[in-house]
Amino acid sequence: MAKTVVVTGASAGLGRAIAHAFASRGDRVAILARGEQGLAGAAEEVRARGGQALVLPCDVADAAEVDAAATQVEAELGPIDVWVNNAMVGSLSRFLEMEAEEFQRITDVTFLGFVNGSRAALKRMVPRDAGVLVQVGSSLAYRGIPLQSAYCGCKHAIQGFTESVRCELLHDGSRVHLTMVQMPALNTPQFSQVRNRMAKHPMPVAPIYEPEVGADAIVWASEHKRREVWVGASTPAVIIGNALVPTAGDHFLATTAFDGQQAELEPDGGPDYLFAPRAEDMGTRGRFSDQARTRSRQLELTKVLPDWAAGMVSAAAGRGLGALQKLLGG
């Protein structure tokens, strides 16, 4: 049976891939974002894949806009079954070089945008005692890296916020399900749009996965009662390695993550997307498809294993011991 799905940040990148994935099931997909050209392109692709699209230009940093969008979704598509919080903005910059307004804007979109979306979704789901709220997370919700202090702070905040709200739902005996999907580095257009103060072009930290891998995990998570889903071999390696040897991780990232986030590419010349969207359709994939993986064997194993075994296999598939040896210099 077709479902009503809301995806924030759906005009490009992972959000657009998520909209594609739900549309391929024949779902009714409401796509929220600021960039109207990107929204138009995403809507056309949703319809081409068999879904019904509802385009809602919206800045998720504005709680009233998000709530109004949710009201329109239910009026035109029906009760919301799945809400996916995905919208983000970011920068590649040392913290002390960032302006206060820049840090605030990233927080308003990337953290408070999730808060606003969660509030809008749960206000409608909880009274019906049904629905799924999916938070798009990252391995950086557990492990901060240099040059992304605002983004990492937001993902850590989303983690804590989500755990708090989940406990409240459990206390009330609610059947609304709340899950967080922790992503690896993805090949999305964000790296051509982030505010950049470094000498070279921004890039995701290898290993890199195509956004469709993350979208597949989101759809799967919306159908299964997992507290958390880890995607890609690197995600469990980062999370487990940081839990066991965080100080070694600090030194390793201080040595490798500056160069690891910069590529020898010519800039595309466009403005950043921090305070206004790009006036063009940025599409789904970024500039790193030559390096990006199109599947995650770790995710495939996670899907077929029971909940109690998923974490163990994620750790093995993530080569946790190998990551620890590397961090320790062994």
- Domain of 14, CATH number, reads 3.40.50.720
Question: What is the C-alpha to C-alpha distance for residues 54 and 43, in angstroms, rounded to an integer?
Answer: 7
Q: Are strands 132-138 and 228-230 parallel, antiparallel or unpaired?
A: unpaired
Assess whether 273 carries a catalytic annotation.
no
Q: What is the pTM of this model?
A: 0.93
Look up residue 34 and give its DSSP letter.
Answer: S
pLDDT over 70 at 308, yes or no: no
Q: Which of 142, 151, 209, 273 is catalytic?
A: 151
Question: Is residue 307 included in any domain, yes or no?
Answer: yes
The pair of structure tokens assigned to 270 is 């466009």
Question: Is residue 33 included in any domain, yes or no?
Answer: yes
Which residues span the domain enclosing 68?
4-267+285-328
Question: Is residue 212 included in any domain, yes or no?
Answer: yes
Question: What is the C-alpha to C-alpha distance for residues 237 and 125, in angstroms, rounded to an integer?
Answer: 34
Provide the residue type at 256 as one letter: T
User: Total domain count for the chain?
Assistant: 1
Q: How far is CA 245 from CA 70, 151, 169, in A?
A: 43, 22, 33
Contact 62, 86 (CB under 8 A): no
C-alpha triplet 34, 25, 187: angle, nearest 5°: 50
- The pLDDT of residue 320: 47
The more confident residue out of 52 and 267 is 52
Question: Is residue 131 included in any domain, yes or no?
Answer: yes
Question: Is residue 138 included in any domain, yes or no?
Answer: yes
Question: Is residue 272 included in any domain, yes or no?
Answer: no
Q: Please state whether 147 falls in left (phi above 0), alpha (psi between -120 and 50) or beta.
A: left
Question: Is residue 278 included in any domain, yes or no?
Answer: no
What confidence category does residue 309 fall into, taking pLDDT thresholds of 50, 70 and 90? low
Q: What's the rounded mean pLDDT across residues 229-240?
A: 94
Q: What's the rounded mean pLDDT across residues 194-214?
A: 96
- The pLDDT of residue 305: 82
Question: Is residue 279 included in any domain, yes or no?
Answer: no
